[in-house]
Chains A and B, each alone.
Chain A
Amino acid sequence: MSGLDLDKIYRAERGRVLASLVRLLGGFELAEEALADAFLAAAQQWPRDGVPANPRTWLVSAGRFKAIDKLRRSGRFRAMAPELRRELELEEDQMPPDREIIEDDTLRLIFTCCHPILPADAQIALTLREICGLTTEEIAAAYLSKPATIAQRIVRAKSRIHDAAVPYEVPPPAEWDDRLETVLHTIYLIFNEGYEASSGDALIRHELCAEAVRLARLLKELHPGPDIDGLLALMLLHQSRAATRTAPDGSLVLLEQQDRTRWDQALIAEGTALAELAFARPPVGSYTIQAMIAATHAAARTAAATDWARIAGFYDLLLRAEPTAVVALNRAVAIAMRDGPEAGLQLIDPLAAGELVNYRFAHAARADLLRRLGRADEARAAYHHALELTQQASERKFLERRLGELR
């Protein structure tokens, strides 16, 4: 099997193949069965015949074919809605399936996963599993929940979609207003899952980041607006630093230690222009403010040249747009950079003891400020606390290294 990395193809294509199969077969259960069958067929045929020129359309066609075959044999095909049956048979003759339709399938699936009939926690669980390809067990670990609870949540969400006959479609722009916020949130969730994988060894899963950016671009084309621009800008600016975020040994490299000459200037230019465009069109949403913060970092040639006063100002705005403890924590870190560690610590202490007591970054940030103030014993305790809450391998490495430096 020289050069054939099926695992890699699975990771890269699973979400989009599934999205197309959900549309073609009209439901999650059938689509997941077909997806498994398609990859099984690939595992049998590709080592012998070689990887097809377009693996994705091959997998979609194979999955659809297997599903129809199974439905026919089990007699379930006749029981299907005539409309869907006709469509399935019609598609059977079209090879390869229409590319443009396939391009939009993930977006359709996102609008489905974000449907307002689903509670927020179900939307998140469904998106992470169906679009990001996380397992039930990984989602449970990321949300400190039991796999059985998450499994039930996902099964219920799917049957709700089925029972309410939620269509697999991108709704007309007139209906976007009450859906867009959730959709943008979901796209950012996909990006973050790629950027800060909540479990596993690889810190960055590039294919998820690229997919989130692709989806945001697609949305922008369909229905331009400042919030979409803001989110796209934010993701592009994050992505511009992706190559410098991890050391060769897989550990996390902080912003201040990153090699800025390796930041992607084309992404920075595009992201900054988009962010400024969105910022000039009020009301300014939180993605846009975050993008402005990221753009300010990107503009600094050295870590010491960072305009912390400007960044702290954006955090004041962000805290008003999004008054959460996590934003308050980030604002505190910016204020520590502007006014010194003591000022930051005063803001972080109540957060780390209160609402963010189980949030690993609160303790890591606190540890860092204590370290800079020379309060080594307290810093050590805070690093230990952060480590207890961290499962991500490269983050653990980073914290352990910092802890080692204190000794």
Chain B
Amino acid sequence: MRYTCLVHFDPAAMTTPGFDKRRFDRRSKDYDEELKAGGHFLGWQGLALGDAAVIVRVRDGKMSATDGPYIESKEQMAGFVMIEARDMNEAVRLAAGLPLAEIGTIEVRPVSESSIPAPQLA
């Protein structure tokens, strides 16, 4: 089964004193390699911060565009990792290994059946 790990976190966490960004990035990269070696890694995508977003709506044929973020909160969606896992509990275990889980929140969601076949990411 396929699952998407939506990563939410507070960007301020990356700039707190004592946070070793280089080490964090290396661990993240290592873990991606581990997921790949285990046949779990399907792809990932990081996103720019929410204030770089434009929010688009069409109502009654009329388009509106406002500057972001969509949801005003400290934690924001920063990207996603797509994984293959035997079941939800394995997906949860794999998500817990993401270093991002230590500074943010990972929302693990099953990929809806209708959206299979696999996407071409990364």
Residue in chain A with minimal CB distance to B109: A148
- Give residues of chain B (81-104) contacting chain A, Cβ–Cβ below 8 Å: 86-90, 92-93, 96
Is B39 within 8 A of A137, CB to CB? no
Which of A29, A37, A137 is within 8 Å of B38, CB to CB? A37
Q: By the criterion CB–CB under 8 Å, are A32 and B90 in contact?
A: yes
Q: Is the CB of A40 within 8 A of B39?
A: yes
A246 at the interface (CB under 8 A from B): no
Please encode chain B, from 39 to 52, with 1 for each CB lying within 8 Å of some chain A CB and 0 for all others: 10000000000000
Number of interface residues of B (CB under 8 A): 13
Is there an interface contact between B110 and A29, defined as CB atoms closer than 8 Å?
A: no
- Considering the complex, which residues of chain A in the window 294-326 have a beta carbon less than 8 Å from any beta carbon of chain B? none
The distance from the CB of B91 to the nearest CB of chain A, in whole angstroms, is: 8
Report chain B residues within 8 Å CB of A154. Answer: 89
Instruction: Assess the B39–A135 pair: CB atoms within 8 A.
Output: no
Q: Is the CB of B88 within 8 A of A151?
A: yes
| Chain B residue with Cβ nearest A37 | B38
A136 contacts B by Cβ under 8 Å? yes
| CA A323 to CA B111, docked complex, whole Å | 43
Per-residue CB proximity of A33-49 to B under 8 Å, as 1/0?
10011001000000000
Closest to A154 in B: B89
Answer whether residue B13 sits at the interface, using C-beta atoms and an 8 A cutoff: no
B56 at interface by CB-CB < 8 Å: no
A137 engages B87 (CB within 8 Å): yes
Where the two chains meet, the residues of B that have a C-beta atom closer than 8 Å to any C-beta of A are 1, 37-39, 86-90, 92-93, 96, 110
Q: Which residues of B contact A33 (CB under 8 A)?
A: 93
**Which residues of chain B come closer than 8 Å to A129, judged between CB atoms?**
87, 89
Interface residue A97 (Cβ < 8 Å from any Cβ of B): no
CB distance from A130 to the nearest CB of B (A): 9
Q: Is there an interface contact between B93 and A136, defined as CB atoms closer than 8 Å?
A: no
* Distance A193 CA – B110 CA, assembled complex (angstroms): 25
Q: In the complex the two chains form, what is the Cα distance from A40 to B89 in whole Å?
A: 18
B38–A150 contact, CB under 8 A?
A: no
The answer to whether A147 and B93 have CB atoms under 8 Å apart is: no
Chain B residues whose CB sits within 8 angstroms of the CB of A151 once the complex forms: 88-89, 92
- Interface contact A155-B92, CB-CB below 8 Å: yes
Whether the Cβ atoms of A137 and B93 lie closer than 8 Å is no
Chain B's nearest CB lies how many Å from the CB of A364? 29
* Complex alpha-carbon distance, A294 and B93, angstroms: 42
